[in-house]
Structure 1
Amino acid sequence: MTQLDQRYATRTVPRYTSYPTAPHFHAGINAAVYGGWLDGIDAGTPLSLYLHVPYCRTICTYCGCHTKGARKDEPVIAYADTLLREIDLVADRLAGPAGLRRPVVHIHWGGGTPSLLPRDNLLALAERLRTRFDFTAEIEHAIELDPRTVTPELADTLATIGITRASLGVQDFDPVVQKAIGRIQPFEQVERSVALLRGVGITALNFDLMYGLPHQSLATIDETVRLTRQLAPGRIALFGYAHVPWFKKHQRLIKEADLPGVEERIALADSARAALREAGYTAIGLDHFALPDDSMAIALAAGTLRRNFQGYTTDTADTLIGLGCSSIGRLPQGYCQNQPDIGGWRRSIEAGELPVAKGIALDDDDRARADIIERLMTDHEADVLAIAKRFGFPPSHFDASIAALAEMIADGLATFEGGVVRITEPGQRYARVAAAAFDAYLAAGAARHSIAV
């Protein structure tokens, strides 16, 4: 391990899929506040919708998602029925007295495993969305899938409801690693899922891979990348496993002795990244890769790449409506999160109330810092002085943050010239550390985060 890795790689910092980050949400943002925020959204504002389905057949031991096991369909069906009612609650509020159907440019189904929803429920939910909102011609309609659940019927259902992009949770192809994380899915099973999806016209495919899993080695991760290249998904997310057993208790089933150390994690990440670049993928931000003709690589080149709770995205909508238990929305006024437990979420909806539990209102300092952090996380550079000026702040407004970058600048990992912060190529693996210099909440927060690499 290099001295720089020793200094930065083990620092615990947020992943910055939002700013301020979720640990700083509070109960002062409730249904009444959220309703007022919805009322204040301009009529022509394009929307993005996120639907959370918190069920899986079994819980993988590595999982950090908000989900629970459901071996039978009954709770999933009941959840879908309540989700229909929430769609109506939100759509009614957005419609207002004029009965507007708001334009939607992006839909994302996440979980959990949203494909556990039976065909009739998927069809009903998609139809309700199409009825209550105005789908634009260029809409991207994406869903997260467990390859073990993809059948010919499911592929046909996804095509029927208009899915245009599917993200497959692959993680690792090695059988020993798969056994350790409780997710047995041989390469042939994933290959079949890919063929079924492409066979119905869903050709925009993402793979999620992970490094830092138990029993991973350079040989196993290189083989995973080789097999991934063979299936040629347009996008790949290469996430570092976040071992947070204090937050996700099922991760205690993973023996810490089986996890690679920091030096091994770095070697695994570097090996996988090098192999993906060699295969022709463009490196994007902290942990994504895309083929040059994929819209994500095009957005990176154009400077329009964004980052939200799904990671890097081409979704340019500034308003994200979260639907479902625990889902998070991003509105011009701030962030809001639904009730985290299914019972509380359902009771609110049955009472005719928006099921919001907490959130945070934004001021201009938050918005300016969010812009800087997003640009550092996507483009590895941010024009700090220009952003300060755009929000009406003096050039000195971010002096303390620039001072916090002094160590990285001295180590050649970042520069600050002409008002622009740039993360150098050696520093890009520590982008989260650079972003944290602009986080006004981090020092005061009690939240625990995963390590930087």
Structure 2
Amino acid sequence: MLTTPTHKTLTGKYSAPVPRYTSYPTAPHFGPHIKNDAYSQWLQALGEGDKLSLYVHIPYCDRLCWFCACHTKHTLRYEPVAEYLDALTREVRAVAKLVSPKALVTALHFGGGSPTLMKPEDIRRIGALFREAFNFTPDAEISVEMDPNDMDEARYDALADIGMTRASLGVQDFQPEVQKAINRIQTFEQTKSVVDAVRARGVHSVNCDLLYGLPHQTLETLAATVNQILTLDPDRIALFGYAHVPWMKKHQTMIKEEVLPDVDQRFDQSRMAAAMLVAAGYQPIGIDHFAKPDDSMAIADREGRLRRNFQGYTDDAAETLIGFGASSIGQFRQGFVQNMVATGEYQRMTGSDGLTVVRGLAFSDEDRLRGYAIEKIMCDFAFSFADLKARFGAGADEVIAEAKLFVGQNADGLAEIVDGRFRLTETGRLFARTVASQFDAYLGNGKGRHSIAV
């Protein structure tokens, strides 16, 4: 679907910056009143029957991509990485002492930065550390974000040894002009070699990340990249809009704003790429993911089990996410926690009791209600009034009233009420983040700046 005159009006109207809603409340609203004491209590409350998902942040890259909005830093020396991994080891052991061995780990995700810059012996050491510290289920997913420029046979073997089941490759775009503008040189041949190597070692799922809205990107160049990606036959594809936030990530000032696509061009790029992926047999999931119909995420989507957390869309049923490493965020039934962002200070803090939480948020009943409604909008494009009432009682009445008011007042037909459900229309799904923001009680308080919603 390319931009029509109607859609041009709507993209301008509904492209104002709003959160991506990988959490609610969103991270700008975390505060210093939640620290290690609360974190310790939340960890100790975990027990038999609790499923855990673990996230490990490696905040180093051997090159800095100018489009990146992650907490990471560039290094050409391995010593800082080695020192960081020692601190990470202290944190893992400290957390493990507080968590019941009856809690079961169902997923472990290595993100960054570039986790694959770790030396093979450190990949094995850190993998073994987590296996020794926590109780993993036999079928636990082990996923790793991979930079093709890091890879060699020894690293492939090390990742296989720690049981990697899913490889996630950042592609962004294969066109040389675009790659030069974002400082990420990565050929199709390099990428294909990674896909071939991990599949040869038994990895059952490969994910590729694509970006639209990049400098010098056009419909033609993006289409060429999508066609190349399809030849790799990935199991999942994420199609993200480039988030230009130079006020937060200073290296993004290296990208000239005059060569960025405008809002209408971004919209056209996203619709064209989405249509190509659907035509190739991928099932659209949420606002920006696509998966083969037999993929576990696609099955979860069809069965109404799709979730959304700080890693994006997931079929992981674990209620608890424990984050390790500098800046990592954890999610518990009681609320959110975040580790110290600065790597040096994070490393220093692990030298005391091993815990490094410096901010967070304890959920109120209203937070849980609105967070659930927003997650359902982002995942299912709908929520049921009866479901809200059953889960949250009379407290749901305010959100239900807001939903009815939005439908009554929105002249563009972004949502409707059908059989007691607030449901986004086909047009409304294109602006799901904006619709979700209507239920965000924190958004208007001035905290946080966000990327545009298209």
State the TM-score bracket (shorter-chain normalisation).
over 0.9
Distance 1:393 1:289, change over 3 A: same
Tell me how far 1:150 sits from its aligned partner: 2.0
Q: Note closer, same or farther for the CA distance 1:319–1:340 as it changes in structure 2 (3 Å cut).
A: same
Deviations 1:3-26 (A, max 9, x none): 542444421110000000000000
User: Which range moved further: 230-239 or 119-128?
Assistant: 119-128
Contact 1:104 1:135 in 2 (8 A): yes
Aligned to 1:16: 21
- Post-superposition offset of 1:447: 1.2
Using the TM superposition, give the Cα deviation of residue 451 of structure 1 relative to its aligned residue in structure 2, in angstroms.
0.8
Cα deviation digits, residues 209-268 of structure 1 (max 9, x gap): 000000000110000000000001000000000100000000000000010001110111
- Tell me by how many angstroms 1:390 deviates: 1.3
The structure 2 residue matched to 1:62, chosen from 46, 67, 91, is 67
The count of corresponding residues between Structure 1 and Structure 2 is 449
Q: Which residue of structure 2 lines up, in the alignment, with residue 264 of structure 1?
A: 265
Q: Which residue of 2 aligns with 1:122?
A: 123
Give the Cα–Cα distance (whole angstroms) in 2 for the partners of residues 322 and 445 of structure 1.
Answer: 27
SS in 1 for 2:215: coil
From the superposition, tell whether residues 70 and 408 of structure 1 become closer, same or farther in structure 2 (CA, over 3 Å). Answer: farther
Going from structure 1 to structure 2, the CA distance change for 1:446 and 1:331 (only over 3 Å counts) comes to same
Report matched runs for 1:41-80 at 5 Å.
41-80=46-85
Query: What does residue range 261-300 of structure 1 map to in structure 2 within 5 Å?
Result: 261-300=262-301
Partner of 1:33: 38
Q: 1:88 aligns with which of 89, 93, 96?
A: 93
**Cα distance in 2, alignment partners of residues 290 and 408 from structure 1:** 35
1:75 CA displacement: 0.8
Instruction: Tell me the distance in 2 between the aligned counterparts of 1:304 and 1:335.
Output: 22
| CA distance in structure 2 between the partners assigned to 1:403 and 1:27 by the alignment | 36
Question: For 1:143-292, what aligned pairs fall within 5 Å after superposition?
Answer: 143-292=144-293
Q: 1:255 to 1:156 in 2, by over 3 A?
A: same
- Cα separation, 1, equivalents of 2:164 and 2:152: 15
Contact 1:368 1:388 in 2 (8 A): no
- Alignment-mate amino acid for residue 78 of structure 1: E
Q: Contact conserved, 1:63 with 1:251, CA < 8 A, in 2?
A: yes
Structure 2 residue matching 1:88: 3-state secondary structure: helix
Q: Report the Cα offset of residue 352 of structure 1.
A: 1.3
Letter in 1 for 2:306: L
RMSD: 1.5
Structure 1 residues 396 and 180: CA distance shift in structure 2, 3 A: same
Secondary structure of 1:168's counterpart equals strand
Q: For 2:361, what is the secondary structure of its paired residue?
A: strand
Q: 1: distance between equivalents of 2:18 and 2:371?
A: 15
Deviations 1:388-445 (A, max 9, x none): 3312225532155326624774312211244311111111110001111111111113
Q: Any idea what SS the aligned residue of 2:443 has?
A: coil
Displacement after TM superposition at 1:273 (Å): 0.6
Distance 1:12 1:127, change over 3 A: same
The answer to whether the 8 A contact 1:51-1:323 is kept is: yes
Q: Any idea what SS the aligned residue of 2:429 has?
A: helix
- Percent identity for Structure 1 against Structure 2: 47
**TM-score, normalising length: structure 2:** 0.96
Counterpart of 1:357 in structure 2 is 358
SS of the residue corresponding to residue 173 of structure 1 reads: coil
Residue 110, structure 1, aligned to residue 111, structure 2? yes
Structure 1 stretches of 4+ with a deviation exceeding 4 A read none
Indicate if the aligned counterparts of 1:372 and 1:384 stay in contact, CA closer than 8 A: no
> Does residue 442 of structure 1 match 2:418?
no
Change (3 A) 1:23 1:400: farther
The match for 2:10 is 5
State the distance in 2 between where 1:142 and 1:445 align: 36
Partners of 1:319 and 1:177 lie apart in 2 by 38
Show the counterpart of 1:416.
417
User: Relative to structure 1, is the Cα distance of residues 31 and 225 closer, same or farther in structure 2, using a 3 angstrom cutoff?
Assistant: same
* CA deviation after TM superposition for structure 1 residue 134, in Å: 1.1
Say which SS state the counterpart of residue 393 (structure 1) adopts. helix
Hey, what does 2:139 align to over in structure 1?
A: 138
* Distance (Å, rounded) in 2 between the aligned partners of 1:349 and 1:343: 10
User: Is 1:101–1:133's contact at 8 Å kept on the other side of the alignment?
Assistant: no
Could you give the per-residue CA deviations for residues 33-81 of structure 1, whole angstroms, max 9, x where no partner exists?
Answer: 1111112223331111000000000110100111000111111111111
Counterpart residue identity of residue 431, structure 1: A
Is 1:320 the equivalent of 2:325? no
- Whether the aligned pair in 1 keeps the contact of 2:47 and 2:103 (CA below 8 Å) is no
Letter in 2 for 1:79: Y
Residue 54 of structure 2 contacts residue 109 of structure 2 at CA under 8 Å; is this kept in 1? yes
Distance 2:268 2:409 in 1: 21
Determine if contact 1:8/1:433 at 8 Å carries over to the other structure: no
| CA–CA separation in structure 1 for the residues paired with 2:405 and 2:211 | 30
Q: 3-state DSSP class of the match of 1:34?
A: helix
Distance (Å, rounded) in 1 between the aligned partners of 2:146 and 2:428: 33
Partner Cα separation in structure 2 for residue 239 and residue 42 of structure 1? 36
Q: What is the distance in 2 between the residues matched to 1:4 and 1:452?
A: 14
Deviation at 1:371, TM superposition (A): 1.0
Q: Secondary structure at the match of 1:391?
A: helix
C-alpha contact 1:28 1:359 (8 A) present in aligned 2: yes
Separation (CA, whole Å) in 2 of partners of 1:221 and 1:366: 39
Contact 1:380 1:431 in 2 (8 A): yes
